[in-house]
Structure 1
Amino acid sequence: MLLDHQSGAVLYQHNADERVEPASMAKLATVALTLDLVRRGALGLDDTMVISEHAWRTGGAPARGTTMFAELGSEVSVDDLLHSAIIQSGNDATIALAEGIAGSETAFAGLMNQFGAEIGLTNSHFTNPSGLPDPEMYTTARDLAYLARYIIREFPEYYPVFSAEAFEWNGIFQRNRNDLLGQVGIDGLKTGSTGSVGNGVVVSTTEGGRRLVGVVHGLATAQQRTDEVRRLITWGATSFDRIPAFSDGTIIGHASVYGGAVSQVGLVGASGVDIFLPKNNRQCLRGNISYQAPLLPPVRAGDQIAYLNIFCDDQQIQSVPLYAATDIEAGGIFRRATDALWELAFGWLPF
């Protein structure tokens, strides 16, 4: 999966909705949820969490996995636990966060799933905060890309932690486990690997003058992961011309509203729409707007209800989310009856 961060436009996808184990990339959801709690004032970065025996045995030194080597019974600040989760991929750190916030990993996983649904992760299910193998836990490349985009957009003041070269805790110095940092402009986010699913990574880069978010997963070796990411990012950064198409607030099209006070709602981009066309091939452009009909009221301004699909030589090269420009309330009895008769006579035909 490769998308443009600013617009959310999908530049490339292959099996992007195939369910896979997230491995340590699940820690991105733990980090996002924790930072959201901090933003809302429910948690402080200086608050401390206790390293329980479960966190120590399951995610600490005895487990022989990625760990911050926190001592049993010690108290660690939320900020340090977040740094460890991001930089060291500390399993003990994420378990301590889960237990401190929700009381147990299971309860925290429930919060992760609720939070994921709220931010648009439609095909993910988390059962623990660290990504340790569990057959009931899954995500997709698309959801991981959307999760990364959420973190970059919502927590810009904390995002630099993802590019930190190392983190030292309790006298133990560990380098960032993301070995792709600095390559083709990559400044985050998270690697993950297990014996059953292979090697994956969620990356972001400003290579080529715009921020891209990419995900690859299921590679047999870490070197293959590196090679695949370099190819994906290099292609995305060098193969497109950016063409401003619609300014912020411009109505791009309309979607029909069945039984609404008015029959259509205008569609806009999140902050204007840029189209990325393959270099030296501007004559190939074709586009359409798609949405799930019938669209029922009430519709709220800002609801994501459609996509602008861009094609070049009959191959889709971009998909841009479109949002309702205005509120549409339910229509009166006469309006609803008219639409019902139309549907009975002709079926649902967007107009």
Structure 2
Amino acid sequence: MTKFITALAFLFTFFVVAAPSFAAEPAFFSRLSAKQIYVKDLQSGQLLYLKDAQRRMPTSSMSKVMTAYMVFDALKKGEVSLNDEFPVSEKAWRKGGSKMFVEVGKKVAVEDLLKGVIVQSGNDATIVLAEGLAGAETVFARKMTAKAHEIGMENSNFMNASGWPDPNHYSTAEDLGILAEHIITDFPEYYGFYSIQSFEYNGIKQRNRNPLLFRDDLRVDGIKTGHTEIGGYGLMASGVAPDNAERRVVVVMNGMKSEQARAQETGRVMAWALNNFENKLLVEKDKSVKNVRVVYGRQDTVAATVNEDLIVTLPYLDKDMVKIEVVTKEPMQAPVKKGDQIGELRVITPELEPMSYPLYAAQDVKKSNIVSRFFESLSYKLFGAPQ
């Protein structure tokens, strides 16, 4: 089932926003062979397109992004350094599929192993890293799964470090999108590995398999391809808008029929996501949207605010035709605690269904004393409560 989504799935961690739709889905989406699609604007947090994004699927070499996440995490914690060297086991050396061509019995620097995983997609390099960090690939895979669940990848399970086919090794396009976002935001100091276009090791130079890295018309800087006979061809990709370097998009697509289809389809979706939308700052963090009436309090009003900059991704045709409505629970009854949800802000445009975002109390409002509350209550009974 395909769903074209334009509201934030989770603007804040504890408030789920309804997902409105565009009036019409772009026609080219119906011609894509990809079985799973996930497109998200990271600046606004807005989901732009989903197709079977929560369906379990083989992750193939896109699993290696989780392997790299584990290594980046260890680097950041100081548990390992880029100059540390790990030994190559016979298991790693014998592993089939795409290879870095490490040699059994030799030691390889973590930095080179990361390039071997990210650029060359070396199955052998993933095993060397897994064994170096956890002692055994099976132990490392369990740690991958635990970390994946910790960062919100609830529908993922890893049986190995490379993405080698296994019926119990799976993820979803949504989970891989979450992983891509975490790689970018948690480890900006290491994300540059994903933009390396080629890497030579042991006299063998290999080109990065991500076809979008070589597109001059797209500002794509990562992240990873994958392919298995069962899962088809896949790609996790990220890039920034040509007119706004702060606006970053993540695209995850899987199940395409060929390398050519992967290059063409992912390129078209990425171009659409980067070139047909603009992000607009509607409300700044902590800025008062409205003063809400409060009864039985030491203050008569409390400011309603958003607790993050409210940025909305809009089609270019809609960017200057935005209407904002504020709906509040009024009057509020004291006590009111800072951070209490006291209303919502609705965004209305010609092409989108209304989008709703929570509004929060900007400060505490304590109860007034008992005498004040008595006379206030009496006044309301005689003259009615304020509106």
- TM-score when scaled to structure 1? 0.75
Partner of residue 16 from structure 1, selected from 14, 35, 53: 53
Aligned counterparts of 1:323 and 1:18: Cα–Cα separation in 2 = 33
Residue of structure 2 equivalent to 1:132: 164
1:10-89 mapped onto 2 (5 Å cutoff): 10-58=47-95, 63=96, 65-89=97-121
Amino acid at match of 2:181: R
TM-fit CA distance, 1:38: 0.9
1:102-121 mapped onto 2 (5 Å cutoff): 102-121=134-153
TM-fit CA distance, 1:50: 1.0
TM-fit CA distance, 1:200: 0.5
Residue of structure 2 equivalent to 1:142: 174
Shift of the 269–85 alpha-carbon distance from structure 1 to 2, 3 Å rule, reads farther
Aligned counterparts of 1:317 and 1:238: Cα–Cα separation in 2 = 23
TM-fit CA distance, 1:287: 9.1
- TM-score when scaled to structure 2? 0.68
CA contact (8 A) 1:10 1:317 kept: no
Aligned counterparts of 1:123 and 1:132: Cα–Cα separation in 2 = 18
**Is structure 2 residue 248 aligned with structure 1 residue 216?**
no
**Is structure 2 residue 317 aligned with structure 1 residue 280?**
yes
Partner of residue 246 from structure 1, selected from 283, 289, 295: 283
Aligned counterparts of 2:196 and 2:42: Cα–Cα separation in 1 = 21
- Which runs of no fewer than 5 residues in structure 2 stay unpaired? 1-37, 291-303, 328-338, 363-387
**Is structure 2 residue 37 aligned with structure 1 residue 3?**
no
Q: Per-residue CA shift, 1:207-266, capped at 9, x if unaligned? A: 33221111111001111111211221121122223211222345889xxxxxxxxxxxx9
TM-fit CA distance, 1:7: 3.5
- Which runs of no fewer than 5 residues in structure 1 stay unpaired? 254-265, 290-300, 302-306, 327-351
Larger radius of gyration: 2
**Is structure 2 residue 268 aligned with structure 1 residue 231?**
yes
Partner of residue 157 from structure 1, selected from 189, 213, 217: 189
Shift of the 57–317 alpha-carbon distance from structure 1 to 2, 3 Å rule, reads farther
TM-fit CA distance, 1:43: 1.4
Amino acid at match of 1:131: G
Q: Which has the higher helix share?
A: 1
1:326-337 mapped onto 2 (5 Å cutoff): none
Partner-residue secondary structure (3-state), 2:212? coil
How many pairs are equivalent? 296
**Is structure 2 residue 128 aligned with structure 1 residue 91?**
no
**Is structure 2 residue 204 aligned with structure 1 residue 205?**
no
CA RMSD, aligned part only?
Answer: 3.3
Partner of residue 225 from structure 2, selected from 182, 187, 191: 191
Partner-residue secondary structure (3-state), 2:211? coil
Partner-residue secondary structure (3-state), 1:80? helix
Identity of aligned residues (%): 40
Aligned counterparts of 2:187 and 2:142: Cα–Cα separation in 1 = 22
CA contact (8 A) 1:268 1:324 kept: yes
CA contact (8 A) 1:12 1:317 kept: no
Point out the more displaced range, 33-42 or 1-10. Answer: 1-10
Aligned counterparts of 2:64 and 2:71: Cα–Cα separation in 1 = 10
Partner-residue secondary structure (3-state), 1:206? strand
Q: Per-residue CA shift, 1:115-142, capped at 9, x if unaligned? A: 1112111211111110111110111111
Aligned counterparts of 2:56 and 2:82: Cα–Cα separation in 1 = 33
Amino acid at match of 1:105: E
Partner-residue secondary structure (3-state), 1:21? coil
Point out the more displaced range, 24-33 or 231-240. Answer: 231-240
Partner-residue secondary structure (3-state), 1:13? strand
